Amino acid sequence: MRSKLILFLTITLLLSAEMFAQKRPNILLIVSDDHAYQAISSYGSKLMETPSIDRIANEGVRFNKAYVTNSICGPSRAVILTSKYSHKNGFRDNINPRFDSTQNTFIKELAKTGYQTAWIGKWHLGSQPQGFSFWKILPGQGSYYNPDFLTMDGGRVRQEGYVTNIVQDEAEKWLNTRDTSKPFCLVIGHKNTHRTWMPDIQDLRRFDSQEFPLPVNFYDDYNGRAAAQVQDMSIEKTMLLDYDLKMYEDSSKMLDHGFFKRMTPAQRQAMLDYYRPVYDDFKNRKLKGQALTEWKYQRYMRDYLATSVSLDRNIGRALDYLDKNGLAENTLVIYISDQGFYLGEHGWFDKRFMYEESFRTPFLMRFPGKVQPGIVNDNAVMNLDLGPTILQAAGVKVPPDMQGESILPLVTGSHAKGREAVYYHYYENGEHAVSPHFGVSNGRYKLIRFYKRVESWELFDLQYDPKEEDNVINDRHYKRIRRKMEKELNRQIKKYEDTDAIQVLKAAGEW
């Protein structure tokens, strides 16, 4: 009798532990690369349709004012993992690209409480992932075609196909074989839409009949903005006809490049079939000056948007997987890019600057039963907040040294107000010649201190100058605003303990 009672109690206990485990939400975090909100229809883009990302918006919340702390790949992922600014997690730039994986992360916090965790796809953090039940990552930037993957056993495997499709396949494989008695947290890291924007074969011709309007500040003269004057990321001067836009003088040169060399004969043929006629037409036109730059812009848009089509399609596959497997109701889905990107604004591609297009990032979230469908949120939220948000959703305590804040209170009906100002610090002083800078934005005004490459201050009034072309730092009408923003900047620097910024200001006698 007694042993029967013990057996009964044990089973009940096990069952309730299982039920508790089941109740905790699963987490699906999809992190893309260089995906601009200007290319997402839910954000109002007229460039293309993104039905899958729009679906997350319609069934959840779209954050209109989502920012990154440091607009570049590795550093942004390190911020997401640790919920700490670059000066705290140590991963400041891609020049010394090595994330200290022994640090605490939201993944490790989840794992401690019984979550199964995985990272599949682009990682770009130099060191091996730690604290995951499973990982399978692209080495470095990864390849669009027939990508190699690094595996947990120290191996390296090449898989045939297009990267975004394969990463989603691998994610589904892991989901199919996971331990279903535990909740999961899966991070899918996509390479799309990173340079050099190589579309999936099925999407190559997608935008051929479309002409894209030039952004209004495409011909920015960079007047009054020293850092913008010295950058090397313009469509006109920096974007390469061959390497970026696949316009090689002869096809053997094209096929010699590593991107094409690794392709199968059929993939190579598909590339030639598409790009050679474009090249022939281009050659005939004998374009120069602005006509050439504008032609480059059209080609850039066609390739960039085509890689976005594949990204959106595979996000759709992930959502469909949740539906088909009865997981949608109990899974928090988050979509974010590692940063925003310039689609011709200021005449640029790439990112890095604290100007809106790269400072902001697409960020959407679906949390059935917790977040009402179809919300648009205008609070200033950050990639820094992902960790605490996910931990709170999972009912896990947020470690006090994480610098972000859960954004759930902003979208679950409470009257939480959110942060009043956003602090930014970009460090890399290399490729694309963007001067390091830090700054603060309160939505209306933005103050930026550039250092190292150029020493300068910029102040923008975003209400009157949303395209950030008019630096009013020395305008006497903005004297009071300038002082106010300087105070805000100092407050933010102290709050996040950015000793790097303090050093810069001290050296200039400005602290």
Q: Residue 34 Cβ, how far from ligand SGN at the closest point, in Å?
A: 5
* Closest C-alpha to 381, from 149, 61, 132, 92: 61
Give the sheet arrangement for strand 26-32, strand by strand: 156-158, 148-151, 134-138, 116-122, 184-189, 26-32, 331-337, 363-366, 61-67, 375-382
- Could you say which of ligand SGN, Ca ion, none residue 431 binds, taking C-beta under 5 to 8 angstroms by partner kind? ligand SGN
Q: Residue 53 Cβ, how far from ligand SGN at the closest point, in Å?
A: 19
227: three-class secondary structure by DSSP: helix
34 contacts Ca ion (rule: CB under 5 A): yes
Q: Residue 211 Cβ, how far from ligand SGN at the closest point, in Å?
A: 25
- Could you say which of ligand SGN, Ca ion, none residue 432 binds, taking C-beta under 5 to 8 angstroms by partner kind? ligand SGN
Question: Which among 73-81, 212-220, 298-306, 325-333 is the span making contact with Ca ion, rule CB under 5 A?
Answer: 73-81
Name the packing angle between helices 479-495 and 499-507 (round to 10°).
140
Q: Residue 195 Cβ, how far from ligand SGN at the closest point, in Å?
A: 4
**Which CB atom, from 432 or from 453, has the smaller least distance to ligand SGN?**
432
468 contacts Ca ion (rule: CB under 5 A): no
**Which residue's CB atom is positioned nearest to Ca ion?**
73
| C-alpha span between 328 and 25 (Å, rounded) | 10
93 contacts Ca ion (rule: CB under 5 A): no
Question: Which among 319-327, 333-341, 364-372, 424-432 is the span making contact with Ca ion, rule CB under 5 A?
Answer: 333-341
Q: Residue 194 Cβ, how far from Ca ion at the closest point, in Å?
A: 6
**Which CB atom, from 431 or from 461, has the smaller least distance to ligand SGN?**
431
Q: Residue 124 Cβ, how far from Ca ion at the closest point, in Å?
A: 8
**Which CB atom, from 170 or from 338, has the smaller least distance to Ca ion?**
338
Separation in Å, CA 309 to CA 51, 67, 296, 434: 9, 23, 20, 29
Q: 3-state SS of the chain: helix, strand, coil percent to 5? A: 40, 15, 45
Q: How many residues belong to the site for Ca ion (CB under 5 A)?
A: 4
Sole binder of Ca ion in the list 33, 59, 170, 294 (CB under 5 A)? 33
- Could you say which of Ca ion, ligand SGN, none residue 453 binds, taking C-beta under 5 to 8 angstroms by partner kind? none
73 contacts Ca ion (rule: CB under 5 A): yes
CA 296-297-299 angle, 5° bins: 65
Rounded to 5 degrees, φ, ψ at 409 are -60, -25
| C-alpha span between 400 and 408 (Å, rounded) | 17
- 128: Cβ–Cβ under 8 A, 6 or more apart, which residues? 101, 135, 150
**Which CB atom, from 148 or from 431, has the smaller least distance to ligand SGN?**
431
338 contacts Ca ion (rule: CB under 5 A): yes
- 19: Cβ–Cβ under 8 A, 6 or more apart, which residues? none
Residue in this structure with the two tokens 């690369």, named with its chain if needed:
33
- Could you say which of ligand SGN, Ca ion, none residue 371 binds, taking C-beta under 5 to 8 angstroms by partner kind? none
360: three-class secondary structure by DSSP: strand
| C-alpha span between 384 and 186 (Å, rounded) | 18
**Which CB atom, from 138 or from 410, has the smaller least distance to ligand SGN?**
138
Separation in Å, CA 198 to CA 163, 245, 272: 10, 9, 13
Question: Which among 144-152, 331-339, 360-368, 378-386 is the span making contact with Ca ion, rule CB under 5 A?
Answer: 331-339
Q: Residue 394 Cβ, how far from ligand SGN at the closest point, in Å?
A: 28
57 contacts Ca ion (rule: CB under 5 A): no
Q: Residue 391 Cβ, how far from ligand SGN at the closest point, in Å?
A: 26
> Considering just the CA atoms, what is the radius of gyration of the chain in Å?
24
**Which residue's CB atom is positioned nearest to ligand SGN?**
73
39 contacts Ca ion (rule: CB under 5 A): no
Q: Residue 35 Cβ, how far from ligand SGN at the closest point, in Å?
A: 10
336 contacts Ca ion (rule: CB under 5 A): no
**Which CB atom, from 124 or from 482, has the smaller least distance to Ca ion?**
124
Residue 86 one-letter amino acid: S
Strand ranges (E), 347-409: 363-366, 375-382
Applying CB under 6 A, which residues contact ligand SGN?
33-34, 72-73, 94, 124, 194-196, 350, 431-432
* Closest C-alpha to 224, from 464, 474, 52: 474
What's the burial of 254, exposed, middle or buried (CB within 10 Å: 0-12/13-18/19+)?
A: buried
Residues binding Ca ion (CB under 5 A): 33-34, 73, 338
